[in-house]
Amino acid sequence: MTISWDEVDQISMNNQKHGRSLVQGRARGKVLHTDVPLSFWMGIDPQTGVVIDKHHPLSGVSVTGKILLLPGGRGSCSGSCGLVELIMSGYAPAALVLEAEDPILALGALLAAEIFGRSIPVVSVDPQLSRRLASMPSLAIEDSYIAYGEDEAERIELKPVSSGMPAL
């Protein structure tokens, strides 16, 4: 029996159709995808939202207002500060969709919420779901799901983090 790649995608989507909400929130926007981790400290200009890391595939591209899909952050704990600066300047992505749970980036969103009352959703999905979502022109993130596809009719359930870092 031979199956197509679309059928493989459908099987994996049916078997693993959930993600985790690291920082809850709502966002809607165009998808901006990279398969290379990105530094939020010195990799993105916090006053413009433009990727300034000359070696990154998104160099010169603005992340502002986009649903940013990426494997995770790159660098040390200073990435939290970089994300806080982006949120406070108004040039942050609308949301982060990560392939791996990134406590540093989640911490940045949590700090911005707790200290300044402003934040963005941060969610994680497995790499197969990430690739599927990367092919979508836009996504909507609600507290408990990611909506995608025509009329945002397809959904991925987001389970809140129950241990370690609390979901906001």
- How would you write 38-75 as a 3-class SS string? ECCCCCECCCCCEECCCCCCCCCCECCCCEEEECCECC
Residues 131, 45: Cα–Cα separation, whole Å = 26
Distances in Å between the Cα of 102 and the Cα atoms of 9, 108, 137, 140, 167 are: 25, 10, 24, 20, 13
112 exposure class (CB count in 10 Å sphere: 0-12, 13-18, 19+): buried
Closest by CA to 87, choosing from 116, 123, 52, is 116
The catalytic residue among 76, 78, 119, 138 is 76
Beta partners for 141? Answer: 27, 146
Active site residue 144: no
- Active site amino acids: 76
